[in-house]
Amino acid sequence: MSTQRIPAVFMRGGTSKAVVFHARDLPESSAERAAMFLHVLGSPDPNQRQLDGLGGGLSSLSKVVIVEPSQRPGVDVDYTFAQVAVDRPVVDYSSMCGNMSSSVGPFAVDESLVEVEDGEARVRIYNTNTNKVFHARFAVQDGKAVEAGDFQIPGVPGTGARITLGYQDPGGAATSGLLPSGKVRDQLDVPGLGEIEVSLVDATNPVVFVRASDLGYTATEVPEVLEADPSLLQRLDTIRRQGGVLMGMAESTEAVHLANPKVALVGPAAPFTALDGNNYTPESHDLAVRIVSMERMHRAITLTGAMCTVAAVGVEGSIPYEFATSCAPLRIGNPSGVLPVEANICNEGNGRFTAVSVTSYRTQRRLMEGSVLVPSRLLK
């Protein structure tokens, strides 16, 4: 069987990993791209391990990033994100990965897609999934992105060079606006629960926020505890899909994408133990969040989910607003620790809010460079 070698870089961005490609090296056909991405990541794998590919058996480790020079004014590079399902043959372009967005600027610099001076670089990035622009600021030395530093993020051992990500006008990334239903809170009728309140918010990615207590939890549990309750996961998916319809993302619950919207359990700050064994007090964070990604509990929090949370806290009356004790910056308790994020939300009055910007901080690392081997039969 003949194979083709496709240049690729394997990178960590925040608490995610992805195979990163130049758009120029990929087939034009979307079907061929999907077949290639599934093969490279090792999907579908009914055992949910992706042993026959570069994926890691979790949604945060089963990703593809595509980068190319931009022809848009005021933008340096275009970034397309593909979420590859672990256990089914699905490649989903409906969302953006905030964590992997931290790798795009350094990749563009290291691959000579943009010219920058040593010092602090700014790369202007257009995300094709959401049609939004964000800026990445990071240190450059000898023409390459600096990786070593003293900045630490929850969920990643060790430290690295800090990357500042500023998302401009993040509201309505996948819908009509920051509050796509036009309301701060909505009612959903969920089988087995009855009517429950949710907040439907879209900033960098859309999220359905629900009180953890309405489902019998606190939002401080480790993912394994939540995943051990199949009725919880089913109800959360029902909530997510109903929320997606109310947001205008699909005409039916069956048509709602796997990757978007996300659904998040929210609760007050409370003592919790992170996955690395560190203990956190209620004073260490402002609220607790547990988020679902691709039908599984996330081991940290999606970065876009965190940025949507801080935007929601800026909306008076929302469910995250109800719990947050502070928001400058907002410290989000999640399974891997505490994540700080910031937002500039404008209250225009009469229940109208605008997300001016959200800001987050990440680290990234180039793990491997070379080629992925793809059977020629997949690239007709």
The tens digit of pLDDT for each residue in 223-238 reads 999 999 999 999 999 9
Report the pLDDT averaged over residues 285-291: 99
Q: What is the mean pLDDT of residues 235-246?
A: 99
Q: Is residue 23 assigned to a domain? A: yes
CATH number at residue 346: 3.10.310.10
Look at residue 156 and tell me if it is in a domain: yes
Residues of the domain holding 301: 186-361
Residue 120 lies in a domain: yes
Rg of the chain over CA atoms, in angstroms? 20
For the record, the structure tokens of 260 come out as 């978007």
Q: Classify residue 148: in a domain, yes or no.
A: yes
What pLDDT score does 14 carry? 99
* pLDDT surpasses 80 at 1: no
| pLDDT (mean) for 197-218 | 99
Cα–Cα distance between 136 and 339 in angstroms, integer?
18
Is the same domain home to 86 and 105?
A: yes
pLDDT at residue 118, as a whole number: 98
CB 307 within 8 A of CB 203: yes
Mean pLDDT, residues 35-59: 98
pLDDT given for residue 328 in this prediction: 84
- Same domain, residue pair 370 and 336: no
- Asked if residue 124 and residue 228 are part of one domain, the reply reads no
Give the whole-number percent of the chain exceeding pLDDT 90: 98
**Do both 303 and 335 map to the same domain?**
yes
Do 90 and 208 fall into the same domain? no
Look at the block and give the residue holding tokens 């080629």. 371
The per-residue pLDDT for 327 is: 83
Provide mean pLDDT across the span 275-303: 98
- Residues 221 and 349 placed together within one structural domain of the fold: yes
Quick one: 94 and 209 in the same domain?
no
The verdict on 353 and 371 lying in the same domain is no
- Look at 63 and 349; give whichever has higher pLDDT: 63
Classified as helix, coil or strand, 226 is helix
- Is residue 170 assigned to a domain? no
In a domain, 173, yes or no: no
User: Which pLDDT score is estimated for 374?
Assistant: 98
Within a domain: residue 171? no
| Interval 49-94: pLDDT, tens | 999 999 999 999 999 999 999 999 999 999 999 999 999 999 999 9
On whether both 94 and 211 belong to a single domain, the answer is no
Answer yes or no: do 143 and 279 share one domain: no
The DSSP secondary structure of 294-321, one letter per residue, reads TTEE-SS--HHHHHHHHHHHTSTTSHHH
Number of domain units in the chain:
2
Q: pLDDT tens, 149-169?
A: 999 999 999 999 999 999 999
**CB 225: neighbour CB atoms within 10 A?**
13
Containing 83, the helix (H) or strand (E) segment is: strand 77-84
What's the burial of 112, exposed, middle or buried (CB within 10 Å: 0-12/13-18/19+)?
A: exposed
| pLDDT band for position 2 (cuts 50, 70, 90) | very high
What is the predicted pLDDT for the residue at 377? 96
Q: How far apart are alpha carbons 88 and 85 in whole angstroms?
A: 6
- What's the average model confidence in pLDDT over 173-181? 98
- Distance of alpha carbon 335 from its chain centroid, rounded? 15
Task: Tell whether 123 and 29 lie within a shared domain.
Answer: yes
Is 178 part of any domain? no
Asked whether residue 372 carries a pLDDT value surpassing 90, the answer given is: yes
- pLDDT band for position 361 (cuts 50, 70, 90): very high
CA 74 to chain CA centroid, nearest Å: 24
* pLDDT tens digits, 313-338: 999 999 999 999 988 899 999 999 99
The confidence score (pLDDT) of residue 380 equals 79
**Domain shared by 229 and 147, yes or no:** no
- Give me the mean pLDDT over the 358-374 stretch: 98
* pLDDT at 350 exceeding the cut of 90: no
